[in-house]
């Protein structure tokens, strides 16, 4: 409880319909979470520090099948502004330290940490969106969404970056802390190779049936072969076979359930999260903005 990061986090406020905030001086902003349509958690964020005020919308959308206990209390969304020490720590854990940074215009972190005993459960993967007007969008935007367990290396979860002013979207299976980074010198080719390798490692060590493992390894190898000869469009299309098989086999043959007790492996969700970022990076190599 003596962690300074936790002391600076803004408490989550549950709302149903309209929520009226108390005196602004009591807290340096707010994180207002709502559950929309039974399958989406949305946080409207306004935080201030000595350098300014930052606003964002953070959203998690789940599949409805096997979704349980999605409530404001059980989703566990918090947010905080980052000081210089925290920014340095995050930047040291990025895939390319020194080339990727936290933009001073948006030094904000969102953390999702569902309480263990709350009973939140979902199937497969979720869609995550972090949108802010504090950053300016342009085609081939340098901004990317990343996530990490506290103290661990950050991973890409960017499936797209669109105007909004900046709206970063992705897919994932587990929860963690999320930040938007500015990639000052993108290394898409290196990152694609790393993601193919990471997906291969996940297939090798994760629990799944041997037949599923062989099928997914074959799908990945065929896509990678197209990537290696520079046929990025085909590599992206072939990766769709991998995703389709993940969806088809999800269940007993390929673990696909996450729950707050942290006692199950959502292998399907993590694999789909990896292919989402790989699609994005190959798209950039193929000229997509």
SS (H, E, C) 230-289: CCHHHHHHHHHHHHHHHHHHECCCECCEEECCCCCCCHHHHHHHHHHHHHHHHHHHCCCC
- The CA distance from 288 to 188, in Å, is 12
Looking at residue 174, what is its pLDDT?
81
Give residue 169's pLDDT.
87
3-state helix, strand, coil in the chain (%, to 5): 35, 30, 35
Q: HEC states along 89-143?
A: HHHHCCCCECCEECCCCCCEEEEECCCHHHCCEEECCEEEEEEECCCCCCCCCCE
Average pLDDT value for residue range 8-16 = 40
69 conformational bin, left if phi > 0, alpha if psi -120 to 50, beta if neither: left
For residue 172, what pLDDT band results from cuts at 50, 70 and 90?
confident
Cis previous bond, 233, omega within 30: no
- Give me the residue label for tokens 């359930």: 257
| pLDDT tops 50 at residue 12 | no
- Stretch 185-210: mean pLDDT: 97
**What span, in angstroms and rounded, lies between the C-alpha atoms of 289 and 282?**
11
Q: What is the mean pLDDT of residues 65-83?
A: 97
Tell me the per-residue pLDDT of 236-281, one tens digit each, with 9 for 90 and over. 999 999 999 999 999 999 999 999 999 999 999 999 999 999 999 9
Average pLDDT over residues 123-151: 95
Phi, psi angles (nearest 5°) of residue 249: -90, -10
Confidence band of 170 (pLDDT split at 50, 70, 90): confident
Instruction: List phi, psi (to 5°) of 110.
Output: -110, 130
Joined together, the tokens standing for residue 161 give: 């970056």
Q: How far apart are CA 34 and CA 40, in angstroms?
A: 8
Whether residue 196 is predicted with pLDDT greater than 80 in this model: the reply is yes
The pLDDT score that the predictor gives to residue 23 is 29
Instruction: Please report the pLDDT score of residue 28 as a whole number.
Output: 63
For 14-34, the pLDDT digits (tens) are 433 323 233 222 336 899 999
Q: How would you class 25 by CB atoms within 10 Å of its CB: exposed for 0-12, middle for 13-18, buried for 19 or more? A: exposed
Report pLDDT for 52.
95
7 C-beta neighbours (distance < 10 Å), count: 9
Sorting pLDDT into bands at 50, 70 and 90, what band is 187? Answer: very high
Q: What percent of the chain has pLDDT over 90?
A: 85
Residue 213 pLDDT > 70: yes
* pLDDT given for residue 173 in this prediction: 81
pLDDT of residue 17: 30
Q: What is the mean pLDDT of residues 153-166?
A: 92
Would you say residue 143 has pLDDT above 80?
Answer: yes
- C-alpha distances out from residue 33 to 12, 27, 58, 83, 261, Å: 7, 16, 9, 24, 22
What is the C-alpha end-to-end distance of the chain, expressed in Å? Answer: 44
What pLDDT band is residue 227 in, cutting at 50, 70 and 90?
Answer: very high
pLDDT reading at 5 higher than 70: no
Q: Which residue has the higher pLDDT, 76 or 23?
A: 76
d(CA 222, CA 200): 12
Under 8 Å CB-to-CB from 234, ≥6 apart: which residues? 226
Q: Is the pLDDT of residue 175 over 90?
A: no
Mean pLDDT to the nearest integer, 139-156: 95
| Nearest of 33, 40, 278, 10 to residue 160 by alpha carbon | 278
Q: What is the mean pLDDT of the chain?
A: 90
């Amino acid at each position: 409880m003596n962690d300074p990061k936790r002391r600076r986090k803004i408490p989550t406020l549950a709302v149903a319909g309209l929520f009226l905030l108390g005196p602004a001086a009591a807290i340096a902003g707010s994180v207002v979470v709502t559950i929309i349509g039974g399958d989406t958690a949305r946080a409207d964020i306004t935080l201030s520090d000595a350098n300014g005020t930052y606003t964002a919308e953070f959203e998690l959308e789940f599949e409805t099948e096997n979704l349980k206990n999605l409530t404001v209390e059980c989703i566990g969304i918090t947010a905080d502004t980052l000081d210089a020490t925290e920014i340095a720590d995050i930047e040291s854990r990025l895939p390319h330290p020194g080339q990727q940074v936290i933009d001073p215009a948006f030094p904000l972190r969102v953390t999702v940490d569902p309480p263990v005993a709350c009973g939140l459960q979902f199937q497969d993967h979720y869609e995550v969106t972090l949108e802010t007007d504090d950053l300016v969008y342009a085609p081939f935007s340098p901004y990317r969404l990343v996530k990490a367990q506290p103290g661990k290396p950050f991973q890409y979860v960017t499936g797209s970056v669109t105007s909004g002013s900046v709206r970063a979207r992705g897919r994932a299976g587990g929860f963690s802390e999320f930040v938007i980074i500015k990639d000052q010198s993108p290394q898409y080719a290196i990152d694609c190779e790393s993601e193919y390798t990471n997906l291969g490692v996940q297939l090798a060590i994760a629990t799944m049936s041997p037949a599923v493992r062989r099928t997914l390894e074959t799908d990945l190898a065929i896509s990678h072969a197209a990537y290696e000869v520079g046929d990025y469009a085909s590599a992206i299309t072939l990766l769709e076979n991998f995703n389709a098989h993940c969806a088809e086999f999800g269940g007993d043959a390929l673990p696909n359930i996450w729950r707050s007790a942290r006692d199950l492996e959502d292998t399907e969700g993590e694999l789909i999260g990896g292919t989402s970022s790989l699609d994005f990076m190959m798209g950039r190599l193929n000229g997509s903005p």
